[in-house]
Structure 1
Amino acid sequence: METKATIIRKYAEATLETKVDIICKYYPQIDGIINARIAAMKYIIWEEKEKNRRVDYGELGVRVQSRNGYSDPTGNEASFRANLESAIRKCDFSGDILEGIDNSEKIIEEAYILKDMMEIQHLYELQVDCRVSEERNLFQKYLNQEMNLTDIASSCGIEYHSAVKKITKIRKSVKQEITEILEVASCHVGTK
């Protein structure tokens, strides 16, 4: 099985059509792949920020409150982490959220890749939802790995080969519709 990083890297290097294929192939895992990578990015950023903060204060370990004033390190951390997740998901790194981070360009680039994955997955779901109810139910069960081709053939009372054709036809149609949407959208980016 491919690692999350490998899937994301393949996606980043893929053509529009191949991106749609990747979303289809890893459909049940896409949310988990995206969420796991965002969690890892948050951890990496937080740890680097903390390391830099300790270095700035000349600390060797955990800092103890030394002045009179209100301090809520746990609340500050929770707030920062929530803002960080939102920044990654929305690709909005305004303010100082990545200040002092060594590879901030790489983080921003990966955030855009993850955002693109989320958007294409959402498009995929919408296109699947547009299918006639029987096709939609079968294809969703196939995508979510609730039914394999043998199960589909059995439930529809058709031969295995016909089930393969049926799923291939639906997949091809969904892919074509999404690819057309993406091609039209990419033609309009930056135009007025």
Structure 2
Amino acid sequence: MAAKNGFVQGYASSQIDERVEIIFKNFENFIDLVDMFEDNICDQITEEKRFNRRAEIGECGVRVQTSRKSDPTFSQASNHYDNIIDIRRGDLDKLLEYTDDAEGHRDEIETLELMRRDYTTVTSAMSVLSPKDRNELKDVLNKEKAIVDIIESTGNLYESVKSRLYRNRRKVKIQAKELIELRMGKAA
């Protein structure tokens, strides 16, 4: 939980340049991380709601199933799916009803949505590069190739490959920053 809060809260408090660097650093699994944090918050919300509803009606915490009609596994999966749908639609009022920290959850969910939008913006910003340079940069960011692999395939010197990757990364960062600022309504 602390790692999640640190990563998501750190992202939320970062400036645009820093957010783009976080995306670059975690490029190969950035969306997987966002999905993981989203799943975690959905589970947390489900548990809080379940506990608070039971406490509200005075249940002591021990439940015995006697009807044989419920399917707890299906119910849990259905609740999780419904929570994901509510998050993606932005229907947070209903989702956060009966939770302990509605505002904290809302902030985290909004940050996760911001992370998704920023990632999409960074990948879109790569269009400023030629297809060859774009693929080369994506391969390095996805850790599919190292600089040594690029040197071997292109025959270029280490310094020229390193400089080209740095320039291309900088171009993408500048373009992504401009696009994010436009999306946020800030003047560049």
TM-score bin (small chain): 0.7 to 0.9
Letter of the 1:16 partner, please give it: I
Q: Is the 8 A contact 1:27 1:143 kept in 2?
A: yes
Q: CA RMSD in A?
A: 2.4
Equivalent residue number for residue 24 of structure 2? 24
**Equivalent residue for 1:91?**
90
Given that residues 153 and 162 in structure 1 are in contact (C-alpha distance below 8 angstroms), is that contact kept between their aligned partners in structure 2? no
| Whole-angstrom CA distance in 1 between matches of 2:31 and 2:102 | 24
CA–CA distance in structure 1, aligned partners of residues 135 and 29 of structure 2: 19
Partner residue of 1:36? 36
1:45, distance to aligned residue in structure 2 (A): 0.8
What's 1:62 paired with? 63
The amino acid across from 1:122 in the alignment is T
Confirm whether residue 131 of structure 1 aligns to residue 150 of structure 2. Answer: no
Amino acid at match of 1:21: E
Q: Distance in 1 between matches of 2:153 and 2:117?
A: 32
**Contact 1:152–1:163 (Cα < 8 Å) also in 2:** yes
Task: Give how far 1:63 is off.
Answer: 5.0
Instruction: Name which of structure 1's ranges 110-119 and 3-12 shifts more when overlaid on structure 2.
Output: 3-12
1:168 paired residue among 166, 169, 175: 166
Q: Secondary structure at the match of 2:10?
A: helix
Q: Conserved in 1, the CA contact under 8 Å of 2:151 and 2:157? A: yes
Letter in 2 for 1:146: E
Deviation for aligned residue 1:160: 0.9
- Quote the offset at 1:91 in angstroms: 3.1
Residues 114-151 of structure 1 show CA distances to partners (whole Å, capped at 9, x for unaligned) of 10110110111122245322112211110100111122
Gaps in structure 1 of 5+ consecutive residues: none
- Structure 1 residues 90 and 129: CA distance shift in structure 2, 3 A: farther
Which residue does the alignment assign to 2:112? 114
Counterparts of 2:70 and 2:50, CA distance in 1: 16
Structure 2: runs of 5+ lacking an equivalent: none
1:9 aligned partner: 9
What residue is the counterpart of 1:151 in the other structure? 149
TM-score w.r.t. the length of structure 1 is 0.84
Residue type of the alignment partner of 1:163 = V
Question: Please, which of 139, 142, 163 is the counterpart of residue 141 of structure 1?
Answer: 139
Amino acid at match of 2:78: S
Deviates more, 1:46-55 or 1:126-135: 126-135
Q: 1:98 to 1:63 in 2, by over 3 A?
A: farther
State the match for 1:179 in structure 2. 177
TM-score (norm 2): 0.86
Number of matched residues? 184
More helix per residue: 2
Judged with a 3 Å threshold, the aligned counterparts in structure 2 of structure 1 residues 122 and 132 are, in CA distance, closer, same or farther, namely same
Local SS of the residue matching 1:97: helix
